[in-house]
Amino acid sequence: DTAVSQTPKYLVTQMGNDKSIKCEQNLGHDTMYWYKQDSKKFLKIMFSYNNKELIINETVPNRFSPKSPDKAHLNLHINSLELGDSAVYFCASSQPSGGQETQYFGPGTRLLVL
Protein backbone atom coordinates (compact mmCIF):
# COMPACT_ATOMS: atom_id res chain seq x y z
CA ASP A 1 0.00 0.00 0.00
CA THR A 2 1.27 3.45 -0.93
CA ALA A 3 1.58 5.58 2.20
CA VAL A 4 1.61 9.00 0.53
CA SER A 5 0.28 9.23 -3.01
CA GLN A 6 0.07 12.11 -5.43
CA THR A 7 -1.77 12.61 -8.69
CA PRO A 8 -0.93 13.29 -11.37
CA LYS A 9 2.66 12.13 -11.63
CA TYR A 10 3.32 14.39 -14.61
CA LEU A 11 1.55 17.60 -15.56
CA VAL A 12 2.29 19.59 -18.71
CA THR A 13 0.26 22.72 -19.25
CA GLN A 14 0.25 26.16 -20.82
CA MET A 15 1.00 29.43 -19.11
CA GLY A 16 -2.09 31.05 -17.64
CA ASN A 17 -3.93 27.82 -16.97
CA ASP A 18 -5.24 26.71 -13.59
CA LYS A 19 -4.31 23.25 -12.34
CA SER A 20 -4.62 21.12 -9.23
CA ILE A 21 -2.40 18.46 -7.69
CA LYS A 22 -3.89 15.97 -5.26
CA CYS A 23 -2.28 14.27 -2.28
CA GLU A 24 -3.57 11.51 -0.05
CA GLN A 25 -1.99 9.75 2.91
CA ASN A 26 -3.20 6.55 4.54
CA LEU A 27 -0.91 6.75 7.56
CA GLY A 28 -3.44 8.39 9.86
CA HIS A 29 -1.17 11.40 10.26
CA ASP A 30 -2.46 14.75 11.43
CA THR A 31 0.00 16.95 9.55
CA MET A 32 0.55 17.30 5.80
CA TYR A 33 2.91 19.43 3.75
CA TRP A 34 3.66 20.68 0.28
CA TYR A 35 7.24 21.16 -0.85
CA LYS A 36 8.64 22.54 -4.09
CA GLN A 37 11.89 21.32 -5.65
CA ASP A 38 13.19 23.61 -8.37
CA SER A 39 15.59 22.92 -11.21
CA LYS A 40 18.56 23.49 -8.90
CA LYS A 41 17.23 20.70 -6.69
CA PHE A 42 16.55 22.92 -3.68
CA LEU A 43 13.69 21.43 -1.69
CA LYS A 44 11.66 24.10 0.08
CA ILE A 45 8.54 23.89 2.20
CA MET A 46 5.50 25.77 0.93
CA PHE A 47 2.63 24.89 3.27
CA SER A 48 1.83 22.81 6.31
CA TYR A 49 -1.60 21.75 7.51
CA ASN A 50 -2.50 20.19 10.83
CA ASN A 51 -5.94 18.64 11.14
CA LYS A 52 -7.16 20.61 8.13
CA GLU A 53 -5.84 23.92 9.50
CA LEU A 54 -3.06 25.94 7.89
CA ILE A 55 -0.01 26.01 10.15
CA ILE A 56 2.85 27.11 7.91
CA ASN A 57 2.59 29.36 4.90
CA GLU A 58 5.99 30.25 3.56
CA THR A 59 6.48 33.09 1.12
CA VAL A 60 4.50 31.64 -1.73
CA PRO A 61 2.51 33.62 -4.34
CA ASN A 62 -1.18 33.71 -3.53
CA ARG A 63 -1.78 31.97 -6.86
CA PHE A 64 -1.02 28.83 -4.84
CA SER A 65 -3.89 27.76 -2.63
CA PRO A 66 -3.81 24.59 -0.57
CA LYS A 67 -7.06 22.92 0.37
CA SER A 68 -7.55 20.18 2.93
CA PRO A 69 -11.00 18.55 2.71
CA ASP A 70 -10.07 16.14 5.49
CA LYS A 71 -6.89 15.29 7.35
CA ALA A 72 -5.97 12.54 4.88
CA HIS A 73 -5.96 14.87 1.88
CA LEU A 74 -4.10 18.04 1.01
CA ASN A 75 -4.58 19.38 -2.50
CA LEU A 76 -2.68 22.19 -4.17
CA HIS A 77 -4.44 24.47 -6.59
CA ILE A 78 -2.39 26.79 -8.76
CA ASN A 79 -3.98 29.70 -10.63
CA SER A 80 -2.55 31.50 -13.65
CA LEU A 81 0.42 29.21 -14.05
CA GLU A 82 3.77 30.84 -14.88
CA LEU A 83 6.93 29.45 -16.42
CA GLY A 84 8.68 29.70 -13.05
CA ASP A 85 6.18 27.33 -11.50
CA SER A 86 7.82 24.47 -13.38
CA ALA A 87 9.21 22.21 -10.68
CA VAL A 88 8.65 18.96 -8.85
CA TYR A 89 6.06 19.25 -6.08
CA PHE A 90 6.21 16.83 -3.17
CA CYS A 91 3.55 16.13 -0.62
CA ALA A 92 4.50 14.77 2.79
CA SER A 93 2.80 13.79 6.02
CA SER A 94 3.87 13.32 9.62
CA GLN A 95 2.60 12.72 13.12
CA PRO A 96 4.47 15.13 15.42
CA SER A 97 5.27 13.67 18.82
CA GLY A 98 7.49 15.01 21.55
CA GLY A 99 9.62 17.16 19.28
CA GLN A 100 10.02 14.37 16.76
CA GLU A 101 8.41 14.53 13.38
CA THR A 102 9.37 11.98 10.78
CA GLN A 103 7.94 13.10 7.48
CA TYR A 104 7.00 10.64 4.75
CA PHE A 105 7.08 11.93 1.22
CA GLY A 106 5.06 11.13 -1.85
CA PRO A 107 6.61 10.33 -5.24
CA GLY A 108 6.27 13.88 -6.54
CA THR A 109 4.37 15.64 -9.31
CA ARG A 110 6.49 16.95 -12.15
CA LEU A 111 4.93 20.16 -13.42
CA LEU A 112 6.07 21.69 -16.68
CA VAL A 113 4.60 25.02 -17.74
CA LEU A 114 5.06 25.89 -21.41
Partner 1 sequence: DAKTTQPPSMDCAEGRAANLPCNHSTISGNEYVYWYRQIHSQGPQYIIHGLKNNETNEMASLIITEDRKSSTLILPHATLRDTAVYYCIALSSNQFYFGTGTSLTVIP
Do 49 and 100 touch, CB atoms closer than 8 A?
no
Are residues 74 and 66 in contact, defined by beta-carbon separation less than 8 angstroms? yes
- Residue 106 CB, shortest distance to partner 1, in Å, is 5
Residue 110 CB, shortest distance to partner 1, in Å, is 7
Instruction: Choose one: 12-20, 40-48, 64-72, 73-81; the region binding partner 1 (CB under 8 A).
Output: 40-48
95 touches partner 1 by CB under 8 A: no
According to the binding rule CB under 8 A, does residue 112 interact with partner 1? no
**Nearer residue to partner 1 within complex by CB, 31 or 75:** 31
Q: Does 104 bind partner 1 (CB under 8 A)?
A: yes
DSSP type of residue 8: -
Backbone angles phi, psi at 65, to 5 degrees: -135, 115
Regarding 66 and contact with partner 1 (CB under 8 A), the answer is no
Q: Is 44 in the site for partner 1 (CB under 8 A)?
A: yes
The CB-side HSE value for 81 (13 A sphere, CA atoms) comes to 21
Q: Where are the beta strands (DSSP E) in 1-114?
A: 4-7, 10-13, 19-25, 31-37, 43-50, 53-57, 64-70, 73-78, 87-94, 104-105, 109-113
Interface with partner 1 (CB under 8 A): 4, 31, 37, 41-45, 48, 55-56, 88, 90, 92, 96, 99-108, 110
